[in-house]
Amino acid sequence: MNDLEAFADVFDGMTPYSGMVEPGFIVSGLGRMTDARFHTIWGVDPAEEGGRDTSLRFPVATDGEGWFEAVNWVEAAREARGSYVMATLGACYGAQAVEAYLALQAVNPLPAKLVAVDPVPENIAMTRQHFRDNGIDPDAHWIVEAALSDSNAPVIFPVGSPASGTQNCVFYNSPVGRGALARRLTEDGQAALVGSNLLETNATGVTINMTPDRDPPFEAELKLVSAITVADILGPFDRVDFVEADLQQSEMVVFPPAMEVLNRKVRRVHLGTHHAEEHRFLEGMFGQHGWQVVFSFPPQDTYRTPAGEFTLNDGVLTALNPAVAYG
């Protein structure tokens, strides 16, 4: 575990992007073109992006999270045989799916099916555009507007701030969270109005600040949205080469009940984690099911390794399933 030097040559035989970038676009080392308007929420000015020749490099270990993601894209692509299936859960605007697809085309071109799941309608629209911007027909893949949960019961989910990637259904949809919200709305005299809103529109009309320490904050409205399980997503496939998830703590809800189907069908999982306790639980869960933990670095810490020093905001957890191998 955590033998970073074993992946020092992961990009051998590949050439990073070099060439013209259209005005208003941002390019990655694998050549993924991203509409800079997707990043305005993070302070990016699209007018200052693109419109020039650019030469890039591939990530290195000291880049932190981005390197671990890239290693998984390339390793999953190299391993695949016959066809390739990749699912990104909490897809935001589909960046992980597109990068995984481009890695596949670079090292092992195969027929591919991408699955991107996100409950924010604007994110779904951006995912479809992002696919098209990178030469991928969105109608040839599965782009699903739904929240990830442990059942198909609709969930209370903060919908808004598209492309922020900050939402989850852990707190507001939990019994404790729903109860606290109900008491607050009753005390504020808003319960009847919210009940009416839900019956008429599936939306509460209640806006929350998801990032109270940020100015301006990311805001979202609590809505009742459709939910899908990991088992639902994996059901149609005999084998899934790569599952990537960044669910802002919802991993604790969606992955434990899915372990039986994950054990049968999935070769590789890569998770972004957000609390040390969550990270330890998930690492232990995969280990107990016989998975090989390749990378395990809890979030919000700095690490000194033989491959260099890096700092993580989200944690990284990669696990391989020996029960799903390639002949």
What is the average pLDDT across 250-270?
A: 95
Question: pTM value?
Answer: 0.91
pLDDT-above-70 percentage for the chain: 97
What confidence tier does 167 reach under pLDDT thresholds 50, 70, 90?
low
* For residue 217, pLDDT beyond 80: no
Give residue 205's identity as a one-letter amino acid code. Answer: G
The mean pLDDT of the chain is 92
Give the side-chain half-sphere CA count within 13 A for 75: 22
Residues comprising the chain, all counted: 327
| pLDDT at res. 183 | 84
| pLDDT at res. 260 | 97
E strands in the chain: 18-21, 25-27, 33-35, 52-55, 84-89, 112-118, 142-145, 147-148, 155-159, 203-209, 219-225, 227-228, 242-245, 268-273, 292-297, 301-305, 308-312, 315-320
What confidence tier does 248 reach under pLDDT thresholds 50, 70, 90?
confident
Cα–Cα distance, 128 to 311 (Å, whole number): 32
* For residue 246, pLDDT beyond 70: yes
**Poorest-pLDDT segment among 103-107, 147-151, 162-166, 239-243:** 162-166
Alpha-carbon torsion angle 254, 227, 99, 306, nearest 10: -20
DSSP 156-213: EEEE-STT-----SSTTTSHHHHHHHHHHHHHTT-HHHHHHHHHHHSEEEEEEES-TT
- The superfamily CATH assigns to domain 59-151+227-320 is Vaccinia Virus protein VP39 (3.40.50.150)
| pLDDT at res. 42 | 86
Greater pLDDT, 169 or 31? 31
Phi, psi of 156 (to 5 degrees): -80, 120
Q: Tokens for 229?
A: 């399980």
pLDDT digits (tens, 9 = 90+) for 124-165: 999 999 999 999 999 999 999 999 999 999 988 888 776 676
Query: Where do the structural domains in the chain lie, given as residue ranges?
Result: 59-151+227-320, 155-223
* For residue 287, pLDDT beyond 70: yes
